[in-house]
Chain A
C-alpha cells in the first residue's frame, strides 16, 4: 500500500532508533507526550517503546475522544434510544464504553435499544431518509478530524429538510486539551509530570494546520513535532524532539509534511465554522470541565440539534472511586498505578474509558505491553 508500507520499514526504523540512542544525552531524561490516541496505538502495536533508549519515555496524552467522553454523554445517547425511541447511530468505538446503570451502548442494544453502528455519518443520513417515521440521532464524537463530516451532514440535512435527523454533538478540540495539560499543576507548578515536548497529532493537523500549536511552543517553551501515523514517522518525530531539547529550541516542526501544511484544510475549517460553534465549557472524562474545548450546533441549525430537539440536560456522572483514568489521561499516573488495572478492570470488564478504547493507555498497555520484562525462553 503506497504511502503506508514505506513508512513501516523495519530496517529504516531501527536506523532512526539508533540515531535517537546516539543523540539522546545519557545524563538526562526526555519525556514526551504523544497527544494523539492513534499514536499511542501505533507505538504499542509496533513495539516502538522497545526501540527507544531507557532515558526517552513516552507519556500517553488524552487524545482519545472515546476515552475523554464522559459517562453523562453516553447516558444521553442511551436514553435517546432506550427511552425516547430514537434510532441512535454511532461509530463503533463508543459501543463498549461503560456508562451508568451498568449499561453500555451495546448492552442497551441487547435490551432493545435501536442502536446502530455506522462507518460514516452519511450512513446515518441514509437511515434517516429510509425511516421517515422514526427519529434518527447521530452520536457525533471525535476531534477536529472527525468534525467536518458532521458539519457537512448537518448542511445536507438542512438542505434536504430532513426533519427526523439530528446530531448529538460531542466534538472536542485539541489545542484546548493541550493547554489544559500544560496549565495543570502537575506540569506547570509541581513538575511531577516532566514534559519536554509533544508529538502532535497527525490527522487533526491535516485539518487545523500546524499554526495552532505555535502558541504552545512560545508560551510554554515546549517543542511540538507533528508526526505522521506510521511507526517511522513517530520515531523520526521523537528524534526531532530530542534534537530540539538538546539544542534548547522550542518551536513547532512538521514531520508529516506529506499531508500537513501550516494553514490546514481551509474548506473543512470553513464548513465547521458555518455549522458549529465553541461551547463555553465541556466536561472531559478525567479532566473535569475544560473551557472552550468542545463544539455545539449553531442556532441556525437548531432543528437538527438533538440537545435542543429532545430537551436534553447534561448530568455529570462520577467515575468509579478508584478509577485512575483521569490521572492516566493527564499523564500523571501509569496504568499500573491504578489499583483496578488488570484485576477488576480489564478489556473484558472495563471500569473506565482508558480500558475500553483500543488506544486508551490502559487497553494499550494491557493488550500489547503487560508482558514486558518476561523473558522469552524456548526449550
Chain B
C-alpha cells in the first residue's frame, strides 16, 4: 500500500531534513514528526517523515525472530 522506508536524519533545517539511506541522500519534510532529532531514523513516505523508528523495539523484534530457533519444536499441535 504505502511504500515507505526507514532513513537516518543527517541534517536538520527547520521543518526539513536531509536523510540518508545506504549512502543516498534526500531532502524531506519533517512537519509530521517535528520532534525528530539528528541521527534519528524516520519512516519516509512521499517526501515526508511519517513516524520515528524506535531502536529498542526494533532490536526486540529481531530478538523475537531469532529466539524461535532456540525454543523447542515440541510445541506443535497434534
- CB contacts under 8 Å to A, within B44-78, are 45-48, 50-55, 57-58, 60-62, 64-66, 68-69, 73, 75-77
- CA–CA, A123 to B29, complex, Å? 12
Interface pair A38/B2, CB less than 8 Å apart: yes
Interface pair B6/A3, CB less than 8 Å apart: yes
Interface pair B43/A201, CB less than 8 Å apart: no
User: Is B14 in contact with chain A by the CB < 8 A criterion?
Assistant: no
User: Is A19 in contact with chain B by the CB < 8 A criterion?
Assistant: yes
Name the A residues within 8 Å of B11 (CB-CB).
Answer: none
Number of interface residues of A (CB under 8 A): 58
Interface pair B33/A64, CB less than 8 Å apart: no
Nearest CB on B from A270, distance (A):
10
- CA–CA, A65 to B2, complex, Å? 9
Nearest CB on B from A81, distance (A):
21
Interface pair A359/B1, CB less than 8 Å apart: yes
- CA–CA, A24 to B75, complex, Å? 11
Interface pair B46/A203, CB less than 8 Å apart: no
Can you list 21 A-B pairs with a CB-CB distance of less than 8 A?
A2-B41, A7-B61, A15-B69, A23-B75, A24-B77, A121-B46, A142-B2, A149-B32, A149-B45, A152-B29, A152-B48, A233-B61, A236-B61, A257-B61, A258-B55, A258-B61, A259-B53, A260-B51, A265-B32, A267-B33, A267-B34
Closest to A6 in B: B62
Given that A15-B65, A145-B4, A236-B65 are contacting pairs, would A1 and B50 also be in contact in the complex, using a CB cutoff of 8 Å? no
What 20 new A-B contacts, CB under 8 Å, besides A1-B5, A207-B50?
A1-B22, A4-B5, A7-B61, A15-B68, A15-B69, A25-B77, A26-B77, A39-B1, A122-B29, A145-B45, A149-B32, A149-B45, A149-B47, A201-B1, A206-B4, A206-B51, A228-B61, A257-B57, A265-B51, A271-B31
Closest to B64 in A: A236
User: Is A275 in contact with chain B by the CB < 8 A criterion?
Assistant: no
Name the B residues within 8 Å of A19 (CB-CB).
Answer: 68
9 closest residue pairs by CB, A with B: A120-B47, A145-B2, A22-B76, A258-B58, A203-B2, A3-B6, A206-B51, A36-B1, A257-B57
Given that A12-B66, A255-B61 are contacting pairs, would A38 and B54 also be in contact in the complex, using a CB cutoff of 8 Å? no
Interface pair A16/B33, CB less than 8 Å apart: no
Given that A15-B68, A201-B1, A203-B2 are contacting pairs, would A91 and B46 also be in contact in the complex, using a CB cutoff of 8 Å? yes
- CB contacts under 8 Å to B, within A124-153, are 142-143, 145-146, 148-149, 152
- CA–CA, A6 to B8, complex, Å? 16
Number of interface residues of B (CB under 8 A): 40
Closest to B35 in A: A267
Give residues in B with beta carbon < 8 Å to A. Answer: 1-6, 8, 21-22, 29, 31-34, 41, 43, 45-48, 50-55, 57-58, 60-62, 64-66, 68-69, 73, 75-77
Nearest CB on A from B17, distance (A):
13
Closest to B15 in A: A152
Given that A143-B2, A204-B1, A257-B61 are contacting pairs, would A148 and B54 also be in contact in the complex, using a CB cutoff of 8 Å? no
User: Is A169 in contact with chain B by the CB < 8 A criterion?
Assistant: no
- CA–CA, A91 to B46, complex, Å? 9
Interface pair B50/A265, CB less than 8 Å apart: yes
Nearest CB on B from A50, distance (A):
19
Interface pair A229/B65, CB less than 8 Å apart: no
- CA–CA, A376 to B13, complex, Å? 54
Name the B residues within 8 Å of A255 (CB-CB).
Answer: 61
Closest to B56 in A: A258
User: Is A49 in contact with chain B by the CB < 8 A criterion?
Assistant: no
Interface pair B1/A143, CB less than 8 Å apart: yes
Interface pair A246/B77, CB less than 8 Å apart: yes
Interface pair B75/A22, CB less than 8 Å apart: yes
Interface pair B43/A203, CB less than 8 Å apart: yes
Name the A residues within 8 Å of B43 (CB-CB).
Answer: 203, 206, 259
